[in-house]
Amino acid sequence: MHETDRYAYPHRVLHWLVAAVLLFSLATGLTLGALGFEGARDALGMAMTNLLYTAHKTLGVMILGLMIARVVTRSIFVVPLHDPPLSAFQYTLSHGVHALLYLVLLVQPVLGWVATATGGFPVQFFHWTLPPLMGENEALSEQLYTWHAWVGWTILVLVALHIAGAFYHWLFVRDGVMKRMSLF
């Protein structure tokens, strides 16, 4: 495989950074979603609950920044063609999953930011408080948190499809698709 058959190095690095940050974001989001604030506070204590919320918000802001960088790198660098070409079904599935992942990974942090702000909570990035994107509105906040949860589950499904496709190409088809995005 030639270097021209692979994604540009900055794009590969961003892919794996998003994957790592997303792993922790999903873990904190699922934990907080399953326990709720009161459940997390009762099970983990107030300090750990606050740490989880701050971590989840920080990871969300990081994902937003990394995804904006991914959009930029994808528009600057050439996207390598599949060699051998994918079937029409695989091409459609692959591009659909990737497009939806880009969309939800850009929308999800904004939903979380607005839901947090409209709920009257601080939007944190590490120890900095970011400006709210909207004023307080409890009804809107509840709706946005519901959408945030549904988009989170959608991300989980899309990531599972993405990983399944990667493993399918790596273990069964053996067509070099995995090498296109590998760091080494």
pLDDT, one tens digit for every residue, the chain (184 residues): 555 689 999 999 999 999 999 999 999 999 999 999 999 999 999 999 999 999 999 999 999 999 999 999 999 998 888 878 889 999 999 999 999 999 999 999 999 999 999 999 999 999 999 999 999 999 999 999 999 999 999 999 999 999 999 999 999 998 888 888 999 8
Residues 97-113 as b or e (16 or more Cβ within 10 Å = b): beebbeebbebbbebbb
What pTM does this model have? 0.93
State which residues form the domain around 142. Answer: 3-181
The structure tokens 């021209």 sit at 4
Token pair for residue 129?
Answer: 């408080």
41 Cβ neighbours under 8 A, 6+ residues apart: 49
Assign residue 55 the CATH number of its domain: 1.20.950
Distances (CA, A) of 90 to 102, 130, 159: 18, 41, 16
Give the model's pLDDT for residue 176.
81
Distances (CA, A) of 19 to 107, 110, 149: 16, 18, 19
Give the model's pLDDT for residue 85.
87
Instruction: Specify the number of domains making up the chain.
Output: 1
DSSP state of 24: H
Q: How far apart are CA 157 and CA 151, in angstroms?
A: 10
Distances (CA, A) of 147 to 5, 17, 38, 108: 38, 25, 21, 9
Give the model's pLDDT for residue 36.
95
